[in-house]
A = this chain, B = another copy of it.
Amino acid sequence: MIRIRPATASDVPLIRELIQELAVYEREPHSVHITEEHLLRDGFAANDGNNPRCFECLIAEYNGEPAGFALYFPIYSTWRGPSLYLEDLFVRPEFRRHGLGKTLLRQVAAIAVERGCARLEWSVLVWNTPAIDFYQSLGAVPLDQWQRMRVTGEALAKLAGAGKEIEAEA
């Protein structure tokens, strides 16, 4: 009944829909700026040294219906080496409580181990305590000693502009 398969280019419209559905669940319905063209370019173009793929994706089907997805990419630990980061894990509401989320997570963990990755990491919204409890029941630990920071938009451009000046001076 449950089938997990790697996404292909023809899944891009579905992936874009699932990203939007996850954003709605995360109370950020207007935050998705990515387009199908971006996803096609970033995840499914020819994989060479100049343009390595930015992510990989698994699709979960339930009785042949598209029910969820997991989207992940490599990260690196300078203590432990190559690892995987699970950017998105989502199961459509009508397909929940059948073990699809756990099956997707386990499949990504299997890929991590197969590739010799030391760690699998992801992020969860702090108010999503059912998810946090679920992840902890599977052996995940919260990295509560670390605060993630982000610079984006005008602040990034400003910081980068200063970087360029420094490079020119060097």
Residues in A lying within 8 Å of B, measured CB to CB: 2-4, 19, 22-23, 28, 31-34, 38, 42, 46-49, 52, 54-55, 71, 73-82, 85, 87-88, 103, 105-114, 118-127, 132, 135, 138-152, 154-164, 166-167, 170
Would you give the shortest CB distance from A48 to chain B, in whole angstroms?
5
Main secondary structure of the interface of A (DSSP, over half): mixed
- CB <8 Å contact, A107 and B167: yes
CA distance A16 to B142 in the complex (A): 27
Query: 9 more A-B contacts (CB under 8 A) besides A34-B78, A140-B151?
Result: A33-B118, A42-B76, A47-B49, A49-B49, A54-B74, A105-B159, A106-B166, A110-B161, A139-B154
